[in-house]
Amino acid sequence: MRSLMPGAIAPVLLLALGCEPPADFDRIGALTADDLPPSPTNAYADDPEAAMLGQALFFEKALRVMP
C-alpha cells in the first residue's frame, strides 16, 4: 500500500493547510493510491507497459523544450 504523502512532510503541510490534528491527520493519512476507482475514460490507466512508456517519454532528454 502506497502513501500519498511522505511521513516527514505530511504533518507540516497539513498544519499549513489548517487541518486539525489528530482527527484530520488520521483521515488523510488513511488515503492511499490503491483506494482510487478504475478510470472510466482511460483504457490505459492501469497498464504497466503504458506507464513505462510514459515514464520513458517524460525523462527523454531529446524531447525537452527547455534547456
Distance CA 45, CA 47 (A): 6
pLDDT digits (tens, 9 = 90+) for 21-31: 666 667 777 77
pLDDT tier for residue 38 given thresholds of 50, 70 and 90: confident
Is this model's pTM higher than 0.85 or not? Answer: no
Query: Could you tell me the sign of the dihedral formed by the alpha carbons of 50, 53, 58, 63, in that order?
Result: negative
The closest alpha carbon to 28, from 3, 53, 49, 65, belongs to 3
